[in-house]
């Protein structure tokens, strides 16, 4: 029993230890809310305006955005820049060859990035870019050092620089720090949704299933007691 408990503790702690070793940065907790439809819509808009040029969502179809309260017309008019039909997947127009040529490595698909990296990692990553003249793209990141990706949202956040190990604001972007943090939260919220669009439905069905099983358990226990009441 002691060995099993120790093994369980190791399995729980190892992912966190590995993540800390990889980043060397204390992650901020993501304030995303999967029930906030307005936030999800804003995150979808940010993704198609700033991210889909390099990153695709090959397991996500445009028409699934109906779950966010959007009509086909709204999706087609405001969010479809890389497809012609709402039934198509949200693929990037960038080819693998172009990705290797421009960044040295093709940008990854982000369909399940929130599940593989975690919402906290994404939220911290989007907020810790800074100017680095030594980097090929001119940008670096505290969470992901020497990342090949440039800061796609820099016009919103503004330029930041690393001074004495701390990132400081060098120029103001289109958004205030609070507004930019909200934009990063919305984008993370959308990517979390994309990773498992049916998560809320699954959890709701899980609760109802447990409730029904609880009722059935009561009847099963009463039936068992009735059958065994004369047994000594």
Q: What CATH number is associated with residue 132? A: 1.10.760.10
Which comes out higher in pLDDT, residue 148 or 231? 148
Residue 14 pLDDT > 70, yes or no?
A: no
Query: pTM of the full predicted structure?
Result: 0.77
Indicate if 158 and 218 belong to the same structural domain.
no
Q: What is the mean pLDDT of residues 34-39?
A: 94
| C-alpha to C-alpha distance for 89 and 111, rounded to whole angstroms | 11
Indicate if 67 and 168 belong to the same structural domain.
yes
Indicate if 183 and 209 belong to the same structural domain.
no
Share of the chain above pLDDT 70, in %: 84
Q: What is the mean pLDDT of residues 31-48?
A: 95
Share of the chain above pLDDT 90, in %: 62
Indicate if 156 and 222 belong to the same structural domain.
no
* Count of the separate structural domains present in the chain: 2
| C-alpha to C-alpha distance for 141 and 148, rounded to whole angstroms | 10
Instruction: Quickly state the pLDDT bin for 18 (edges 50, 70, 90).
Output: very low
Indicate if 141 and 231 belong to the same structural domain.
no
Which comes out higher in pLDDT, residue 124 or 3? 124
Which residue has tokens 């700033």? 50
CA dihedral (68, 118, 104, 148) positive or negative: positive
CA nearest neighbour of 42 among 65, 59, 60, 20: 65
Residue 112 pLDDT > 90, yes or no?
A: yes
Indicate if 218 and 120 belong to the same structural domain.
no
Indicate if 167 and 210 belong to the same structural domain.
no
Mean of per-residue pLDDT scores for the chain: 85
Indicate if 94 and 188 belong to the same structural domain.
yes
Q: What is the mean pLDDT of residues 115-140?
A: 95
Indicate if 42 and 143 belong to the same structural domain.
yes
Q: Write out the two tokens for 195.
A: 């990773």
Indicate if 187 and 213 belong to the same structural domain.
no
Residue 8 pLDDT > 90, yes or no?
A: no
Q: Write out the two tokens for 5.
A: 């408990």
Structural domain of 165: 2-197
Residue 187 pLDDT > 80, yes or no?
A: yes
Query: pLDDT digit string (tens) for 188-222?
Result: 999 999 998 865 556 656 666 777 778 878 878 77
Which residue has tokens 């008019």? 77
Indicate if 72 and 109 belong to the same structural domain.
yes
Indicate if 131 and 219 belong to the same structural domain.
no
């Amino acid at each position: 029993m002691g060995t099993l408990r120790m093994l369980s503790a190791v399995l729980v702690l190892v992912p966190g230890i590995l993540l800390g070793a990889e980043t060397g940065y204390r992650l901020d907790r993501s304030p995303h809310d999967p029930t906030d439809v307005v936030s999800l819509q804003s995150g979808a808009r940010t993704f198609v305006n700033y991210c889909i040029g390099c990153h695709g969502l090959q397991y996500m179809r445009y028409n699934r955005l109906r779950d966010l309260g959007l009509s086909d017309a709204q999706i087609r008019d405001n969010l479809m820049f890389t497809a012609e039909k709402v039934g198509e997947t949200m693929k990037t127009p960038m080819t693998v060859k172009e990705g290797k040529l421009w960044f040295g490595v093709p940008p990854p698909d982000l369909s399940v990035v929130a599940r593989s990296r975690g919402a906290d990692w994404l939220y911290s990553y989007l907020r810790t870019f800074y100017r680095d003249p030594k980097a090929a793209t001119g940008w670096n990141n505290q969470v992901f050092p020497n990342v090949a990706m440039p800061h796609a949202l820099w016009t919103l956040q503004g330029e930041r620089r690393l001074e004495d190990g701390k990132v400081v604001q060098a120029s103001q972007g289109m958004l205030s720090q609070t507004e930019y943090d909200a934009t990063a939260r919305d984008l993370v919220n959308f990517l979390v949704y994309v990773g498992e669009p049916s998560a809320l439905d699954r959890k709701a069905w899980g609760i109802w299933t447990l409730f029904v099983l609880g009722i059935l358990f009561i009847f099963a226990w009463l039936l068992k007691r009735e059958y065994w009441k004369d047994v000594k």
